[in-house]
């Protein structure tokens, strides 16, 4: 492949109005002085391209400036039009010297080593300051973990912070009281950690997990790892309720406690099953059991209307069920008739007061009609503290934390040494032919996640390694490749310094870590643009006068193009400021600063490196190495000029550049090809728009790991395959009186991520009527069947946190020692010595009662160790002097505090709880102040965030396109170029989103964030080609040829770098990085295809001429 040299009629003539100073060296600060002979050679080189206008070498020696300007084109070739642009006159100005060269470039050319050293030193200094001013002042991770990532003006966020900040204000006093009343925490009396086993029936096991003895025994093996180890007793969760002096380990929470019951009565089990086969009897028993079996919440009218024989029947059936379930302890051998165990469990699932004994370990499909479960689960409990611990306030909190951390390390070390190998063996699919086992443990899950992150980081290193190799291949220099990678990586800490120290933004989101991939893609593009312009300059004789002129040409040619693309990309990322979510705002600002710094470093550090490369290494390096290190003489610019002087025929260029100049440009210029390309694009865009229209918000919990990862597999099974069991922890939903809306004055999370406002309170009055109304509300939440399915129930009673119950019992009895009496509510009715005592507490007596009440042990904790203050930490608003607020909490039957549920699921539950809160006007009147309803696990806040993600994705992407249009209008002043480029970006947006739908992605938080930044990633290629087309000369086809000739290879190299670098991310376990890799690959690939073959084909087809002067719109 070759390019033809311009004919003499195009090669230029002497013109006094365009100065080109023939300097005596090529710019290195250590370069040897140029001799008169060298100068004469330079003049001869110029004379070759100025026939008929030769100059005298002595003219310059006498101080006369000589200038060269091109003659008008006559054949429209790319080289001719390029020459016209290159030799245009640049009058002296603030930035331009008298020779028309850039002053900054002139200084760099004359002092490259000095400038290079200063820039490197400045980069290192800024990194040092970043460490001193930022990293050393940050405790732990430098990333901000926000307590409330939300729209601060949204109702969910306001009530969340109102209650959260209010509880924080009153909690210090209560915690001190609790510590004083709990001076000693018994050894292993508190839950410290869990080991979770999840089981799945192997493919082909149609009988399910409980259909064969082999499958049951296979699951039992997983628990035996712990229970058969005598040393486990030193770490297990001890049951002080069962034996206060020699407590045993609590058995695992698993249905296997039934199959390995210490006693099993076949006849009694058969009798219970027979009774429960009748749906009418099940319904009758459920209506009577709570009152007559559990003796809870008995309606006086109910006791007078029920037949005595029905009561006796219910009590006997309840006693039989209790006698069976009390032996579910996993202390016996496998029950021989295990099929009967499964059948009994399926019928007990229908019984409200017994359901909790069996429902934890069976999947959603398990029932009396289908007594088969393909999935099961179980929990092994670990206790703490490992030694009796002093909990008094005299013990320093840091000391407590240190002891807890030490115990956690001891526990983890014991697990790793004694259990991990056996657990991995059980989790191996080859171990059991009928069961697949998965596990995770809170003690070691941090190490598991860290291992996953480390492996993913290693995959990311492959991406950067490829970028480095591709830089080396294209620059043909290890030196330039190292400098290129250096400037890419150093863009991050320099931008971080500006972001944190200069802008004073303290919110540094974890999302900002993506900026390294952003700058790797865009930074490599800029390097290719700059380097390719430098390479092309050797084929243009009018800029080879000296290195200063040559580098000024390169600088002008690339600086404007990269400035346009960098400005457009920065603006596109700044569109994230539209979202009210601080983390995304932080990412947008940081990414924009990173791109700006990368541009500055390319135009300064890399430019200087190219000068050094020119002076020392180009064409003299061996195998690309930086040796020999001496100055190249004659300089490479002079060698190129001499080569052009003696070359009369075609000049061979690199094959890729020639391919784009001839083949790609030639392809686009053929009408039939454009017709085919247009048809393909129209068909594809129609399909993509159709697919994009079907995108919907995710309806399932979002996964954070690959679906085949064992940890994610277990989490997915837990989320999708099991109903909410009585022993599951539901999301606590709070109803609170006495808390006013938070004061947001002065809140700016970007500048202060820890200040969410100041809590405010209403004139709360905890009078006797208020207490009565609150208790009525609690009773309704616990027993009203209209809330069944909304509020989680255990043993037939709603899971409600109501401190009024225990406060009333404490007020009546003076203590909470008789928990059976407390739970049955015997304190409600006056009898015997309490005939004249009311349970309501006189507000004046609260200071005398509350302190002792907070120290008492609650009657609703199965472990028997939790205090009132601990159980009702959020609900009791006692600040040591008076009750500032009071709350009631209920557990959701659908939502839990752990996963990220779909917006539709959360919103359905949220609306029902809102309806409940709106019905409590009576309490608001008696207690004072309106009720607020919220959770404290950010579920309802995240629900609104999911809607924001969708809305922000649309707004940010469209605004990014609009900004790209404005930037292109300003830079090119050509409407149709800006409009068509914007349509190209829109096509990329549609294509990427449509492909995401085809890949099965739903619109979750990850996808929404990625869609919002598509415009930022997709503008580069089309903007580069649009700018190259605009500055070229000639008609449409000539402009297309020159645009491809100048930037085709640069854009191609940028595409290859980004696409190949994204491929290792496909294999990441962390879904955010895996999806980001797919997104990056799709965006870059579609951007390149639409820019090269869509945008350029439309320009070729329309053939809209460009004005050379005046208004070009």
Q: Is 1024 exposed, middle or buried (0-12, 13-18, 19+ CB in 10 A)?
A: buried
CA distance 980 to 1096: 9
Spatial CB neighbours of 523, under 8 Å, sequence gap ≥ 6: 484, 487, 488, 491, 598, 602
Q: Is 404 exposed, middle or buried (0-12, 13-18, 19+ CB in 10 A)?
A: middle
Confidence grade of residue 227 (pLDDT, cut at 50, 70, 90): very high
Question: Which residue has better confidence, 29 or 448?
Answer: 448
Lookup: tokens for 713: 């597999």
- What percent of the chain clears pLDDT 90, i.e. is strictly above it? 40
Residue with tokens 């009590």: 315
Mean pLDDT over residues 953-963, rounded?
82
> What pLDDT, on a 0 to 100 scale, did the predictor assign at position 642?
81
CA distance 86 to 537: 9
Q: Model confidence over 754-800: pLDDT tens digits?
A: 999 999 999 999 999 999 999 999 999 998 889 988 999 888 889 99
Q: Model confidence over 698-748: pLDDT tens digits?
A: 666 667 777 777 888 888 888 888 888 888 889 999 999 999 999 999 999
Whether residue 456 is preceded by a cis peptide bond, meaning omega within 30 degrees of 0, is: no
Q: Model confidence over 370-420: pLDDT tens digits?
A: 999 999 999 999 998 888 766 554 455 667 778 888 888 899 999 999 998
Contact between 909 and 894 under an 8 Å Cβ cutoff? The reply is yes
Which candidate, 376, 337, 366, places its Cα nearest to that of 201?
A: 376
CA distance 113 to 629: 13
Spatial CB neighbours of 353, under 8 Å, sequence gap ≥ 6: 286, 289, 290, 293, 294, 318, 321, 795, 796
CA distance 231 to 569: 60
Please tell me what DSSP assigns to residue 295: -
On the question of pLDDT at 36 being above 80, the answer is no
Mean pLDDT over residues 916-934, rounded?
91
DSSP element (H, E) containing 650: strand 650-652
On the question of pLDDT at 75 being above 50, the answer is no
CA distance 112 to 22: 19
- What percent of the chain clears pLDDT 70, i.e. is strictly above it? 86
Q: Model confidence over 514-563: pLDDT tens digits?
A: 888 888 888 888 898 899 889 888 888 888 888 999 999 999 888 888 88
> What pLDDT, on a 0 to 100 scale, did the predictor assign at position 821?
86
Q: How far is CA 878 from CA 159, 178, 675, 869, 885, in A?
A: 20, 12, 77, 10, 7
Q: Is 391 exposed, middle or buried (0-12, 13-18, 19+ CB in 10 A)?
A: middle
On the question of pLDDT at 53 being above 50, the answer is no
Q: How far is CA 82 from CA 5, 557, 1029, 1047, in A?
A: 12, 11, 11, 13
Which candidate, 165, 176, 157, places its Cα nearest to that of 884?
A: 165
Residue with tokens 């809160």: 917
> What pLDDT, on a 0 to 100 scale, did the predictor assign at position 266?
93
Confidence grade of residue 584 (pLDDT, cut at 50, 70, 90): confident
Q: Model confidence over 1025-1061: pLDDT tens digits?
A: 888 888 888 889 999 998 898 888 888 888 988 888 8
Spatial CB neighbours of 1094, under 8 Å, sequence gap ≥ 6: 677, 681, 984, 987
- Report the chain's mean pLDDT, rounded to a whole number: 83
> What pLDDT, on a 0 to 100 scale, did the predictor assign at position 932?
94
> What pLDDT, on a 0 to 100 scale, did the predictor assign at position 1019?
78
Spatial CB neighbours of 243, under 8 Å, sequence gap ≥ 6: none
Q: Model confidence over 339-360: pLDDT tens digits?
A: 999 999 999 999 988 988 898 9
Mean pLDDT over residues 863-877, rounded?
86
CA distance 1054 to 532: 12
Which candidate, 901, 885, 851, places its Cα nearest to that of 760?
A: 885
Of the listed ranges 250-254, 501-505, 578-582, the one predicted with least confidence: 578-582
Which candidate, 514, 479, 482, places its Cα nearest to that of 495?
A: 514
Q: Is 845 exposed, middle or buried (0-12, 13-18, 19+ CB in 10 A)?
A: exposed
> What pLDDT, on a 0 to 100 scale, did the predictor assign at position 827?
85
Confidence grade of residue 889 (pLDDT, cut at 50, 70, 90): very high
Q: Model confidence over 448-478: pLDDT tens digits?
A: 877 888 888 788 788 888 889 999 988 889 9
CA distance 216 to 214: 6
């Amino acid at each position: 492949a070759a390019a033809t040299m311009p004919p003499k009629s195009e090669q230029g003539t002497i013109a006094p109005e365009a100065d080109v100073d023939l300097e005596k060296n090529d710019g290195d600060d250590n370069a040897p002085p140029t001799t008169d002979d060298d100068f004469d050679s330079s003049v001869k080189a110029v004379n070759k391209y100025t026939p008929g206008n030769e100059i005298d070498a002595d003219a310059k020696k006498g101080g006369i400036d000589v200038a060269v300007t091109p003659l008008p084109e006559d054949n429209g070739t790319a080289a001719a039009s390029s020459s016209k642009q290159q030799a245009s006159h640049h009058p002296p100005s603030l930035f331009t010297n008298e020779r028309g060269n850039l002053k900054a470039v002139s200084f760099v050319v004359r002092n490259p080593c000095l400038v290079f050293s200063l820039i490197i030193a400045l980069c290192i200094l800024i990194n040092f300051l970043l460490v001193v001013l930022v990293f050393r002042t940050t405790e732990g991770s430098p990333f901000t973990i926000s307590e409330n990532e939300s729209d601060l003006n949204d109702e969910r966020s306001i009530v969340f912070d109102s209650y959260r900040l209010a509880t924080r204000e009153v909690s210090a006093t209560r915690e001190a009281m609790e510590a004083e009343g709990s001076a000693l925490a018994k050894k292993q009396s508190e839950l410290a950690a869990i080991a979770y086993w999840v089981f799945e029936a192997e493919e082909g096991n149609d009988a399910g997990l409980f259909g064969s003895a082999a499958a049951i025994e296979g699951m039992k093996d997983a628990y035996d790892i712990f229970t058969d180890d005598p040393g486990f007793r030193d770490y297990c969760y001890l049951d002080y309720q069962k034996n206060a002096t020699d407590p045993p380990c609590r058995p695992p929470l698993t249905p296997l406690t039934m199959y390995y019951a210490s006693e099993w009565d076949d006849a009694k089990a058969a009798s219970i099953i027979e009774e429960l086969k009748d749906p009418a009897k099940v319904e009758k028993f459920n209506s009577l059991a709570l009152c007559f079996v559990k003796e809870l919440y008995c309606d006086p009218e109910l006791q007078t209307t029920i037949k005595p024989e029905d009561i006796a029947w219910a009590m006997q059936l309840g006693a039989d069920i209790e006698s069976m379930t009390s032996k579910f302890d996993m202390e016996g051998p496998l029950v021989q008739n295990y099929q009967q165990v499964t059948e009994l469990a399926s019928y007990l699932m229908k019984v409200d007061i017994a359901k909790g004994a069996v429902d934890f370990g069976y999947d959603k499909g398990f029932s009396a009609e289908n007594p088969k479960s393909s999935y099961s689960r179980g929990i092994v409990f670990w206790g703490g503290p490992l030694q009796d611990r002093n909990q008094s306030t005299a013990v320093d909190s840091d000391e407590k934390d240190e002891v807890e951390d030490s115990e956690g390390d001891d526990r983890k070390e014991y697990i790793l040494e004694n259990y991990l190998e056996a657990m991995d063996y059980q989790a191996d699919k080859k171990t059991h032919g009928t069961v697949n086992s998965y596990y995770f443990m809170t003690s070691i899950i941090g190490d598991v996640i860290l291992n996953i992150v480390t492996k993913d980081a290693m995959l990311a290193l492959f991406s950067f390694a490829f970028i480095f190799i591709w830089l080396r291949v294209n620059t043909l220099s290890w030196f330039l490749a190292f400098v290129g990678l250096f400037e890419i990586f150093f863009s991050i800490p320099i931008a971080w310094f500006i972001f944190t120290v200069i802008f004073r933004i303290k919110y540094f989101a974890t999302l900002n870590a993506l900026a390294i991939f952003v700058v790797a893609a865009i930074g490599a593009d800029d390097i290719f643009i700059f380097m390719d312009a430098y390479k092309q300059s050797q084929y243009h004789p009018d800029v080879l006068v000296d290195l200063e002129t040559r580098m000024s040409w390169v600088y002008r040619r690339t600086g404007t193009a990269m400035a346009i693309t960098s400005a457009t990309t920065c603006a596109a990322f700044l569109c994230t400021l539209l979202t009210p979510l601080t983390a995304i705002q932080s990412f947008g600002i940081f990414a924009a600063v990173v791109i700006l710094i990368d541009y500055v470093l390319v135009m300064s550090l890399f430019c200087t490196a190219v000068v050094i490369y020119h002076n020392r290494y180009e064409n003299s390096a061996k195998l690309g190495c930086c040796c020999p290190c001496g100055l190249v003489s004659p300089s490479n610019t002079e060698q190129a000029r001499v080569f052009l002087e003696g070359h009369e025929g075609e000049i061979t260029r690199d094959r890729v550049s020639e391919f784009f100049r001839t083949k790609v440009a030639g392809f686009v210029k053929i009408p039939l090809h454009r017709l085919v390309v247009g048809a393909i694009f129209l068909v594809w865009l129609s399909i993509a728009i159709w697919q994009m229209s079907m995108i919907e918000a995710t309806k399932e919990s979002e996964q954070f790991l690959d679906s085949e990862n064992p940890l994610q597999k277990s989490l997915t099974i837990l989320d999708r395959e099991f109903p909410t069991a009585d022993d599951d922890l539901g999301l606590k939903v709070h109803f609170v009186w006495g808390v006013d809306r938070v004061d947001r004055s002065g809140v700016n999370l970007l500048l202060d991520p820890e200040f969410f406002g100041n809590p405010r309170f209403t004139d709360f009055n905890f009078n006797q009527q208020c207490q009565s109304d609150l208790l009525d509300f609690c009773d309704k939440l616990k027993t009203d069947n209209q809330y069944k399915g909304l509020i989680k129930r255990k043993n037939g009673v709603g899971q409600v946190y109501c401190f009024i119950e225990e406060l009333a019992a404490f007020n009546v009895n003076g203590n909470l020692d008789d928990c059976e009496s407390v739970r049955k509510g015997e304190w409600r009715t006056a009898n015997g010595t309490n005939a004249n005592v009311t349970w309501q507490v006189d507000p004046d007596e609260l200071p005398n009662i509350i302190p002792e009440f907070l120290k008492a042990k609650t009657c609703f904790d199965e472990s028997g160790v939790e205090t009132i203050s601990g159980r009702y930490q959020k609900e009791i608003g006692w600040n040591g002097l008076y009750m500032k607020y009071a709350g009631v909490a209920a557990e959701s039957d659908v939502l839990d505090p752990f996963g990220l549920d779909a917006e539709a699921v959360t919103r359905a539950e949220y609306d029902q709880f809102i309806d409940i809160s709106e019905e409590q006007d009576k309490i608001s009147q008696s207690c004072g102040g309106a009720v607020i309803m919220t959770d404290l696990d950010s579920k309802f806040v995240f629900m609104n965030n999911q809607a924001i993600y969708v809305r922000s994705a649309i707004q940010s992407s469209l605004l990014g396109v609009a900004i790209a249009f404005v930037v292109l209008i300003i830079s090119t002043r050509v409407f149709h170029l800006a409009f068509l480029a914007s349509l190209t970006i829109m096509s990329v947006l549609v294509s990427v989103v449509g492909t995401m739908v085809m890949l099965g992605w739903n619109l979750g938080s990850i996808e929404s964030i990625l869609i919002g930044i598509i415009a930022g990633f997709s503008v580069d290629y089309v903007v580069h080609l649009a700018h190259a087309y605009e500055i070229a000369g000639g008609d449409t086809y000539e402009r297309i040829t020159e645009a491809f000739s100048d930037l085709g290879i640069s854009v191609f190299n940028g595409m290859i770098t980004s696409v190949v670098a994204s491929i290792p991310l496909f294999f990441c376990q962390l879904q955010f990085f895996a999806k980001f890799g797919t997104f990056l690959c799709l965006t870059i690939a579609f951007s390149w295809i639409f820019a090269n073959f869509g945008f350029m084909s439309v320009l070729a087809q329309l053939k809209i001429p460009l004005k050379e002067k005046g208004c070009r719109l």
